[in-house]
Amino acid sequence: YGRPIGISIGGEDVEEYSTNFQQIESGLKDTGRSCYFYEFNISCPNTDTGMTLGDQINELEILLNRVRPETSVPLGVKVSPDWNDDRLHQIGEIVRSYSEMFINCGNTQFMNSGDVGLKKDSMPRGGGGLSGGPILPRTLKMIRIFKDLGVPIIATGGISTIHHVKAAKEAGAVLFGLATALIMDPYCVPRINYGLIRS
């Protein structure tokens, strides 16, 4: 369809991120495709240790130093609403020092099982990611942090209505994505698009 494809990459450490990237990039080069971009999900806690690449800022720099020279397509970094503003600012400073980079605000927000009314042992890691509308205020605050750094932003945390899209755009986002809302209502995307056309 001539649309760009976003490829989200995760891993346990820099080596796994790099290997995953290299294998995918090699396959895409063989097909001759050029309409794609990568996103490094440095904030997913679903790792063996529960740690993420974004918990260790120097490892993010090591990763970007390896992969940025390997491709000319845009590269993004997906950040966590659980990180404090200082950490987000540090990540933004790193990202803006490379060409063709963007930030994805954000990811799910970690909650303990008990915080959401479940038994302590009801989830393997004692908790999981809260998504949807409740995390939108944090997403908007994150967008403002990165806007001030001049980094292009995709807003994905808690977006579910045209009002959310407009609020994220006003805060500084240039692209918008959603997942939880799409699961809850498969028609929300055409409704949002139709509303944007009319407004």
Q: What is the DSSP letter of 83?
A: S
Q: Indicate the residue type of 42.
A: I
Q: Indicate the residue type of 47.
A: T
| Torsion angle defined by CA atoms of residues 179, 181, 185 and 187, in that order, rounded to the nearest 10 degrees | -80
How far is the C-alpha of 188 from the C-alpha of 169, rounded, in Å? Answer: 18
Q: pLDDT value at position 75?
A: 96
How far is the C-alpha of 58 from the C-alpha of 55, rounded, in Å? Answer: 9
In sequence order, what are the beta bridge partners of 197?
A: none
pLDDT digits (tens, 9 = 90+) for 152-197: 999 998 999 999 999 999 999 999 998 888 888 999 999 999 999 9
How far is the C-alpha of 64 from the C-alpha of 57, rounded, in Å? Answer: 11
141: which residues sit within 8 A by CB, 6+ positions away? 85
Strands 75-79 and 153-155 turn out to be unpaired
Question: How would you classify residue 114: left for phi > 0, otherwise alpha for psi between -120 and 50, otherwise beta?
Answer: alpha
Question: How would you classify residue 18: left for phi > 0, otherwise alpha for psi between -120 and 50, otherwise beta?
Answer: alpha
* Count of Cβ atoms closer than 10 Å to residue 14 Cβ: 20
Task: Say whether pLDDT at 111 is over 90.
Answer: no
Q: Are the C-beta atoms of 142 and 119 separated by less than 8 Å? A: no
Q: pLDDT value at position 7?
A: 94
Q: Are the C-beta atoms of 43 and 88 separated by less than 8 Å? A: no
Task: Say whether pLDDT at 81 is over 80.
Answer: yes
pLDDT digits (tens, 9 = 90+) for 27-79: 888 787 778 999 999 987 666 665 677 788 899 999 999 999 999 999 999 99
In sequence order, what are the beta bridge partners of 14?
A: none
Q: Indicate the residue type of 112.
A: N
Average pLDDT value for the chain = 88
Q: pLDDT value at position 2?
A: 77
Calculate Rg over the CA atoms of the chain: 17
* Residue 36 main-chain phi, psi, to 5 deg: -155, 165
